[in-house]
Structure 1
Amino acid sequence: GCDVNTALGLAVPFALIGQWINTGTNTFYAGFLPKVDKCAAAGDEKGIAKVMYTGWILYAAMFALAAFLSTYALQSGISAFVAAFPAWLVHGFEVAGGLMPAVGLALLLVVMLKKENAAYLLAGFVIMVITNCQNILPIAVIAGCIAYVNFTRDTETAKLTAASAATAAQEGDFEDGI
């Protein structure tokens, strides 16, 4: 019953619950490793598979339980909990939710932005602004095509460079043409 930015901001604390489940399950799963080591030392491949599948099933069951509880069994409790938040906190979640796309873009740029890719970023931004496009999917598909063409070209260039270097090494380096 709230706007998108508020919902996005509220999603973060609940996403932390998923991270806690992930950490707890991985910690629990670490208890299976001594059994895997014993099976590996004995050469028991079926035993390793059994332990691994058991761990994966327990891992999936923990997330299934959390999803079930949050979407079905505890829905009224969660709604009451969220409704009890003071207005200033809900407004804070709304502001945080509005900032999330900018923070996400900034994090992506920190990892991915290289000076040779800056022109593509600028071109995509200009296309989105000029066309006033509400759907980024067509621009993403075009960008994917351009990335594929660049990757293919760079791969072919690397192969040619390697072949040229191998040919030069076979012919040998002769000083003064002798």
Structure 2
Amino acid sequence: MTLFQALLIGVVSALTQLEGGWLGECKLREPVVTGCLVGLILGNVQQGLIIGAQLQMIWMGATGIGPTAQLDIGTGGTIGTAVALMTGTGAEVAIAFGLPVAVIMQFLNTLLLTGYSGLMNKADKLIDELKEKQIISIHFLCGFLTFLVYFSLTFIVMYYGNSAIEGIVATIPEWANNGLAAVSKVLPAMGFALLLNILFERDLVPYLILGFVMAAFLGMSMVSVAAVSIALAWIIYIIRSESTKVIESHETKEEL
């Protein structure tokens, strides 16, 4: 990996931490997005998208509930995809590196937020004093420090740890690679299960069965299933819109 590539990957990792604060909810932290960007940087967009999509399926059901900390999927997905592309491997290596990184960096994020708590007390006092410029300065200072920390750590890992990462991947025994490959196929199912656990309703069961039949028995691709789903949603929307118009027309006649 070249110095310039390591710098760009560090920028991608750091930018994922500014989502929700400076950049709004633009979904930059999602693995399918970071996978595409890392693939573009390393010259293999297609494989980057594939690995990012596989990581996306794993993490799509992960959510922070109550005091439970969310995984840092932005940094984990970025570094995991970069390692997989750099070593010429697949999603199994991306998972092996990405998941621990996601956990560790989330702890780091908690430490950073704890450190910023002192500045928040200062910001509260400035709000009472109506000193808007100083409040804005604190906001940008916290964002810049967060960007710098994540950029520096990612750059160091990618550039100076390049040989170490390749050595670790090369020394992984075949049985471990086989196990990781199996896990990479099971974890997406777990991700979907976690997502269904949050969104599942009885009214959605027929659509779940329909999608399963199309994919498992009819051999339809995900694009085809998505197209049928859009058509069904459109039909339901038309039916409900017509029903609403009929009800409104009936109520109008009764009023007259």
Q: TM-score, normalised by structure 1?
A: 0.70
Any stretches of 5+ residues in structure 2 without a counterpart? 1-87, 251-256
CA contact (8 A) 1:39 1:47 kept: yes
Output one character per residue of 1:130-151: Cα deviation in whole Å (capped at 9) or x when no partner: 45244x2453355356457657
Amino acid at match of 1:58: L
Higher alpha-carbon Rg: 1
Q: Distance in 2 between matches of 1:43 and 1:123?
A: 58
Question: Which residue of structure 2 lines up, in the alignment, with residue 107 of structure 1?
Answer: 194
* Matching of residue 132 in structure 1 with residue 219 in structure 2: yes
Of the structure 1 ranges 37-46 and 84-93, higher mean CA displacement relative to structure 2 is found in 84-93
**3-state SS of the aligned residue for 1:116?**
helix
Amino acid at match of 1:40: I
CA contact (8 A) 1:9 1:96 kept: no
1:60, distance to aligned residue in structure 2 (A): 1.9
Picking from 128, 134, 158, the partner of 1:47 is 134
Question: Which residue of structure 2 lines up, in the alignment, with residue 34 of structure 1?
Answer: 121
RMSD value over aligned CA atoms?
3.5
Identity over the aligned pairs, expressed in percent?
26
Output one character per residue of 1:35-57: Cα deviation in whole Å (capped at 9) or x when no partner: 11111111112211111111111
Equivalent residues, number = 164
Amino acid at match of 2:122: K
CA contact (8 A) 1:9 1:95 kept: no
Amino acid at match of 2:185: G
Q: Distance in 2 between matches of 1:152 and 1:64?
A: 48
Amino acid at match of 2:162: Q
Amino acid at match of 1:12: L
Q: Distance in 1 between matches of 2:102 and 2:238?
A: 38
Question: Which residue of structure 1 lines up, in the alignment, with residue 94 of structure 2?
Answer: 7
Q: Distance in 2 between matches of 1:139 and 1:149?
A: 15
CA contact (8 A) 1:6 1:91 kept: no
Trace 1:1-178 onto structure 2 (pairs within 5 A).
1-85=88-172, 89-134=176-221, 136-140=222-226, 142-144=228-230, 146-147=232-233
Change (3 A) 1:96 1:133: same
Q: TM-score, normalised by structure 2?
A: 0.51
Of the structure 1 ranges 25-34 and 101-110, higher mean CA displacement relative to structure 2 is found in 25-34
CA contact (8 A) 1:32 1:51 kept: yes
Q: Distance in 2 between matches of 1:114 and 1:32?
A: 43
